[in-house]
Amino acid sequence: MSLRKLNLQDLAFAGKRAFVRVDFNVPLKEGVIQDDTRIQAALPTLKFILEAGGAVIAASHLGRPKGQVVDSLRMAPVAERLQQSLPQFTVLQAGDVAGEEAAEAAAKLQPGQLLLLENLRFEAGETKNDPALAQRLASMADIFVQDAFGTCHRAHASTAGVPAILKPAVSGFLLEREIDAFRSALDQPKRPVVGITGGAKVSDKIPVLKNLIEKVDTILVGGGMAYTFLQVQGLSTGNSLVETERLQDAKEILALAEAAGVRFLLPSDHVIADRFAEDAASQTVEGNIPDGWMGLDIGPKTLATYQAAIAEAGTVIWNGPMGVFEMEAFRQGSLGVAQALAASDCVSVVGGGDSVSAIKMSGLADQVSHISTGGGAFLEMLEGKELPGIAALDDYRVVQA
Ligand code: AMP
């Protein structure tokens, strides 16, 4: 991930057709878009190409139609919103994904026009990375642009197949911001670097922790995943979430952190509840969790320690809430982390659905350096993997005279 990818500014779009893979997977209710953040997020890339005199063929998936045409998952509401958002340009809609209709419409496309293809996942070949589908999509355009970070961890026809054929293949603005955020947080960070991990399950986070141990100075652990580690350390965890089949992995992580000289902090106090419910009886305890109780948030002492580590950090990367933040009684840990991030002038990168929800809930989302648009893709980047959708793009090379 160290090389920068070729980007929009490296190319001339005038008179060209660009196939842009966007993420228009918006929440829909009875045909009405509930939140158009993803459409708005794609506009800078689309406008850049259209203003440069190019034409755009935009393609996205929407929901899970599983290779069938599902009328309620057609792109029509998206096309309408796109036209409202780009009044100075013409937005057209194709009747299919990569059939004759789409190919004809693409061939007729004029500079300054945008053609939105039908839902990519109406084609069974999309998720199978079918070469014939990739070929049909690629043949519509002259340039490939990837701007759907949230699907870059999938090797699908539109993310891996098309850019393997259609060159140049470049990153759009949204994807470039995601890649840059990772580079500034993990490749050339301002030290000390603090990684914060939380969320329900330790099993989901083991590869993330292994990668973070190699890159960061301090790791702060919260959420349900902390209790597996605490059990390894010999503490009583009551009814807290513990993955007994992961105790060995947790032990290994603790040993790796120690060998690497990484400060690995676990909660020392807890907000505990007698059941998993908003109106459960709750109290704060230090150390052991009594029988019949479960830890649902980090306690105030732990929060203060974590906030102090964040205050000293040059860079913070955060994935996973510190507790069951969906319930008011168990969200102080996650909100407190969000407040510390907002108050710090560190480079801060937040990703994964639930930590993003927690920071939005705190009302401080605009005070962190970068909020990722990717869930699974963010996690895989944190694991140190090269995502297929990014690997497929052309590397930037300095051309020497
Ligand atoms: P993840 O998808 O792994 O990031 O997990 C996010 C979920 O973890 C959220 O829905 C939280 O409610 C949940 N969570 C966080 N802390 C705990 C905890 N101590 N016990 C149970 N679930 C938790």
Q: Supply the pLDDT for residue 3.
A: 67
Q: How many CA atoms lie within 13 A of 355 on its CB side?
A: 33
**Measured distance CA(364)–CA(339) in Å, rounded:** 7
- 113 and 226: one domain? no
Which CATH number is 173's domain given?
3.40.50.1260
- 117 and 196: one domain? no
The answer to whether residue 357 sits within a structural domain is no
Q: Which residues of the chain have pLDDT under 70?
A: 1-3, 398-401
Q: Which residues line ligand 1 (CB under 6 A)?
A: 199-201, 204, 223-224, 241, 295-296, 320-321, 323-324, 326, 352, 354
- 201 and 332: one domain? yes
Region class of 314: left (phi > 0), else alpha (psi between -120 and 50), else beta: alpha
Strand arrangement of the beta sheet that strand 17-21 belongs to: 90-93, 113-116, 55-59, 17-21, 143-146, 169-171
**Measured distance CA(229)–CA(232) in Å, rounded:** 5
Q: Supply the pLDDT for residue 188.
A: 87
Q: Supply the pLDDT for residue 398.
A: 65
Query: 303-339: buried (b, 16+ CB within 10 Å) or exposed (e) per residue?
Result: bebbbebbeebbbbbbbbbbbbbebebbbbbbbbbbb
Name the pairing type of β-strands 269-273 and 294-298. antiparallel
The answer to whether residue 213 sits within a structural domain is yes
pLDDT tens string 220-272: 999 999 999 999 999 999 999 999 999 999 999 999 999 999 999 999 999 99
- 168 and 291: one domain? no
The answer to whether residue 231 sits within a structural domain is yes
- 149 and 218: one domain? no
**Measured distance CA(245)–CA(314) in Å, rounded:** 35
Q: What are the start-end ranges of the H helices in 114-225?
A: 131-138, 162-165, 173-182, 206-215
Q: Whose CA is nearest to atom 4 of ligand 1?
A: 199
Range(s) of the domain holding residue 285: 191-345
Task: Provide the 10 A C-beta neighbour count for residue 103.
Answer: 16
- 154 and 288: one domain? no
- 153 and 214: one domain? no
- 173 and 112: one domain? yes
240 CA: nearest ligand 1 atom: 20
- 154 and 79: one domain? yes
Nearest in space to 106 (alpha carbons), one of 63, 77, 143: 143
223 CA: nearest ligand 1 atom: 16
- 28 and 125: one domain? yes
Ligand 1: which of 239, 354, 379, 380 to mutate, most ligand atoms within 8 Å of CB? 354
Nearest in space to 6 (alpha carbons), one of 397, 352, 279, 285: 397
Amino acid at 76: A
- 16 and 143: one domain? yes
Q: Supply the pLDDT for residue 318.
A: 97
DSSP character at residue 401: -
The answer to whether residue 84 sits within a structural domain is yes
Given a contact cutoff of 8 angstroms between Cβ atoms, the answer to whether 316 and 343 are in contact is no
355 CA: nearest ligand 1 atom: 4
Ligand 1 centre distance from Cα of residue 41 (Å): 28
The answer to whether residue 334 sits within a structural domain is yes
pLDDT tens string 97-112: 999 999 999 999 999 9
How many structural domains does the chain have?
A: 2
The answer to whether residue 354 sits within a structural domain is no
The answer to whether residue 222 sits within a structural domain is yes
Sequence-separated (6 or more) residues with CB below 8 Å from residue 32: 77
- 216 and 323: one domain? yes
* Distance spanning both ends of the chain, measured CA to CA: 26
The answer to whether residue 299 sits within a structural domain is yes
